[in-house]
Structure 1
Amino acid sequence: MGCDVSKSTDVIETEEIESDTFEFTDTQIDTIRSTWPILACDMTDIGSKVFLKIFLEEPKLKYIFSSFSDMEENELVHHPLFIDHVTRFMQIIDYLVENLDQEKSDFEQALLMLGAKHATFPGFQVSYLNLFTKALLEVWESAIGEEFIPEVQQCWAQLFTYIMRYIVQGYELYFSECQDDIVDEKS
């Protein structure tokens, strides 16, 4: 199965997140939804900026995407596979924003599966997910501008922490299952 159980399983930092249950208040939902249209008007551009920021911060991460790992930034933003990946990434956020006040169990399951899928990518480390949260907040701040006051930032940070928590859990579950498979094979 190609499990590499020696990979890092650092936990996403959740400092300043008030709720461990990730129940969003009506005010938090309203805050997120009121700023989302600024970002959603060009999800491909915003998502591209997130990934380019991540690749700049951690160039090794770009090489996990073998289809476009050797491309320069100006080529990358026009590459169909890159655009498709960015679009799917932003659609996940869009779906969650639209459904923040709904039952989240199905979505949480999808995030767990996404985390497990990332565990199968050669070279992907769970610590890279910290870069996503950081890049998202930086791109959001740039796009939203002066409306990105501390309260808005906190609401989005809570949403990103929620997303990353389940992706990390899925990543770790994948390796836990692989470890169980190895033990079963030796028995």
Structure 2
Amino acid sequence: MMGTIADSGEGTDQVNGYGGGKEPGGEHGAPLTQEQVLGIKETWAVLAQDPVERGADLFMKIFEEDPELKKLFYFADEGRELSRDDQRMRSHGERVMEAVGAAVDSLEDLAAVVPVLTELGALHHKYGVQPSYFDTVGAALIYTLETNLGDKLTPHIRQGWVLVYGIVGATMKKGMQRAMDQQNLDKTCP
């Protein structure tokens, strides 16, 4: 099952964080349409032509929106100005874009990527990622789509992207929560 998206009624999409608190799959939205699936795949094909540059776009926006997040990344050494030409950031951005591509490739069966996303969430917990950081990343992804796609990113397709990211983020958050629960259990059990 795909999930749903909630609309704020003000023309902006509200999913799991960057704008709202609705969980994907809730009762306040419509399912992802075939038109959205096709639109997401078509717009992704444009971004996937240069995943290194788009990954750099994404991370530069993330760090612009929340500079504190730099502390989580091995490539953002303290006291050093980070530029979009940093090869370590570009490499990490490319891997993130590959992960987004895997989700796009699985749009017809997002359940197939749930185990991978859950494990990825648990891994991110180990690095000190907080659930709220997904909001910043989601907003940066939508910004990256908007700035690179222009008119190709119609409101309907944008809504689909917000939904897909909401599902990905919610799944990773569940993985993080499981890792936190296990860590707490390990601390209390001898």
TM-score interval (norm. to shorter): 0.7 to 0.9
Normalising by structure 1, report the TM-score: 0.81
Which letter does structure 2 place at the counterpart of 1:73?
A: L
Specify which of 110, 135, 140 is matched with residue 145 of structure 2: 140
Specify which of 81, 103, 120 is matched with residue 72 of structure 1: 81
What is the distance in 1 between the residues matched to 2:23 and 2:124? 25
With over 3 angstroms needed to count, the CA separation of the structure-2 counterparts of 1:17 and 1:182, relative to structure 1, is closer
The answer to whether the aligner puts 1:86 opposite 2:93 as a matched pair is yes
1:111 touches 1:166 (CA, 8 Å); kept in 2?
A: yes
Aligned residue for 1:38, secondary structure, equals helix
The Cα RMSD (Å) is: 2.4
What is the distance in 1 between the residues matched to 2:91 and 2:45? 20
Normalising by structure 2, report the TM-score: 0.80
Q: How many residues align?
A: 171
In structure 2, the residue matched to 1:7 is none
Cα deviation, residue 19, structure 1: 3.9
- Cα offsets for 1:12-63 (capped at 9, x unmatched): 3355777449964322211111211221111111111111111111111101
What is the distance in 2 between the residues matched to 1:183 and 1:27? 50
Gaps of 5+ in 1: 1-10
Gaps of 5+ in 2: 1-14
What is the distance in 2 between the residues matched to 1:18 and 1:87? 26
Specify which of 64, 71, 85 is matched with residue 63 of structure 1: 71
In structure 1, the residue matched to 2:42 is 34
1:119 touches 1:125 (CA, 8 Å); kept in 2?
A: yes
The answer to whether the aligner puts 1:149 opposite 2:160 as a matched pair is no
2:55 touches 2:97 (CA, 8 Å); kept in 1?
A: yes
Aligned residues with identical type, % of pairs: 25
1:24 touches 1:100 (CA, 8 Å); kept in 2?
A: no
What is the distance in 2 between the residues matched to 1:174 and 1:96? 22
Aligned residue for 1:73, secondary structure, equals coil
What is the distance in 2 between the residues matched to 1:31 and 1:17? 22
Specify which of 162, 179, 188 is matched with residue 183 of structure 1: 188
> Higher strand share goes to which structure?
2
